[in-house]
Structure 1
Amino acid sequence: MVTLPNSKVSSSVIVNYALPDVKLKIKIPISAAYGSDIKRVKEILIEIGCEAAARSKYVLSDPAPSAYFLEFGASSLDFMLIIWARAFNLAWDVQDYVNTRVYERFAEEGIEIPFPQMDVHMRE
């Protein structure tokens, strides 16, 4: 049992993750190098989401996973994979599974995961 003063309840935003539904929408940001095939990256992300639902006890197949190309970043093409976990306390398990599979699949497909780089030109 948790006791909260009325003043705290009335002056704060309270989020109840467990009711009325325990499932959780998880947004996983993914970056790919410039020059990557955008359609193929999105296909791979959807495949990973569907695979996670089929093989993992953590991920729901309904609602279906979705992938979006969000922006042209400073060093990368930025995507977002949206998947649903069975329960709010599984977010880290889901993200670990998905990130591991993204790393493996991108390596298999020859898609580079970028990191910030800077070219320096020196004049004499």
Structure 2
Amino acid sequence: MADILAQTIPYTDIAVSQVLFALVVLIAGIVVAGILSGMFRNGLKKTKLPELIIEFLVRFLRALLYVAVLLAVVSALGVDVSSVVVGLSAVIGLVLGFGMQDSLNNVAAGVWIASLRPLDKGEYVTVDGLSGTVDAVGIMATELLTPDNQFITIPNKLVWGSPIINATRMPTRRISVDVGVSYGTEVGKAVNVALDLMKGHSLVLDDPAPSVVTTELADSSVNLQLRAWTKTSDFWPVRNELINGIYDAFNREGVEIPFPQMDVHLDKE
């Protein structure tokens, strides 16, 4: 057994025992890095730092620990770590000259996002045309989870450089429901029916008061818009109930919701 461990890997000066020791160092290093990251996360959770910043700092520390583990493994193989560091520095310098700026921009943007928090973990946002719930902001990218469980990764520089629509940051939101009535309808009656519907809903706020406005005299209908304010957490269920409710209320009160139509006149020569 001792003879096997003393043998060297073909074409190298690395002994089998060094390879085994390096594997032990690698496994132990990964375990220790996980433990330290967990302890760091638990410590940060005792502070008042937002979850987004905690996640960013934990991921940054984990990346540094993995670099340290990699250097420890290289050292266990008998390679001079100082020469490796110098070599890596040269490679990094070369890469930086050929496009690593994007990576640095992503890291810098991640720092700004975690610090200024235009979005936060658990918020529903639209960024660069993509929508989802913020899952995390990493060193290089921001992660979103869509309502149908798709996972989206957006480079941090695009997040920081794009308009961010945050749908859940504010405590209240306004619901807008569009509906059309036929031209023969008494508009005042339709407005009153819509107002009664919104005022009678338990989750619609009294202040600001609900309202109905005429938005367009369209080809086949007079278009109305119901506007009601509610808590952000109640937005989607209330919107769905108002859409169904206005349909039922108009049918019940004899207010016609017209189909699209076109009048065609034929002239005889």
Residue 44 of structure 1 aligns with an amino acid whose one-letter code is: V
Larger helix proportion of the pair:
2
Distance (Å, rounded) in 2 between the aligned partners of 1:70 and 1:120? 26
Residue 115 of structure 1 aligns with an amino acid whose one-letter code is: F
Residue 240 of structure 2 aligns with an amino acid whose one-letter code is: D
> What do residues 64-112 of structure 1 show as CA deviations (whole Å, max 9, x unaligned)?
101011221110000111011211x533312221122211211121111
The answer as to whether partners of 1:33 and 1:113 remain within 8 angstroms in 2 is: yes
From the CA coordinates, give the structure whose radius of gyration is larger: 2
Distance (Å, rounded) in 2 between the aligned partners of 1:37 and 1:81? 17
Aligned CA-pair RMSD = 2.1
Distance (Å, rounded) in 2 between the aligned partners of 1:71 and 1:32? 11
Where 2:179 maps in the other structure, the secondary structure is: strand
C-alpha displacement at 1:120, in angstroms?
4.2
Distance (Å, rounded) in 2 between the aligned partners of 1:76 and 1:35? 9
> What do residues 25-58 of structure 1 show as CA deviations (whole Å, max 9, x unaligned)?
1111111011111111111111111011x3xxx4
Residue 196 of structure 2 aligns with an amino acid whose one-letter code is: E
Residue 59 of structure 1 aligns with which residue? 204
Distance (Å, rounded) in 2 between the aligned partners of 1:92 and 1:115? 26
Distance (Å, rounded) in 2 between the aligned partners of 1:16 and 1:118? 41
The answer as to whether partners of 1:42 and 1:69 remain within 8 angstroms in 2 is: no
Higher relative contact order, chain-length normalized (CA < 8 Å, sep 6+): 1
Distance (Å, rounded) in 2 between the aligned partners of 1:122 and 1:75? 20
Percent identity between the two aligned chains = 31
2:254 to 107, 110, 113: 110
C-alpha displacement at 1:63, in angstroms?
1.4
Distance (Å, rounded) in 2 between the aligned partners of 1:105 and 1:6? 47
TM-score (norm. length: structure 2): 0.40
Q: How does 1:1-124 map to 2 (within 5 A)?
A: 1=55, 2-3=136-137, 4=142, 5-19=155-169, 21-52=170-201, 54=202, 58-87=203-232, 89-120=233-264
Structure 1 runs of 4+ off > 6 angstroms? none
Distance (Å, rounded) in 2 between the aligned partners of 1:80 and 1:11? 34
C-alpha displacement at 1:122, in angstroms?
5.6
For structure 2, list consecutive stretches of 5 or more residues without a partner in the other structure: 1-54, 56-135, 143-154
Residue 93 of structure 1 aligns with an amino acid whose one-letter code is: P
* Residues 6, 92 of structure 1: alpha-carbon distance in 2 compared, 3 angstrom cutoff: closer
Distance (Å, rounded) in 1 between the aligned partners of 2:156 and 2:263? 57
Distance (Å, rounded) in 2 between the aligned partners of 1:103 and 1:30? 9
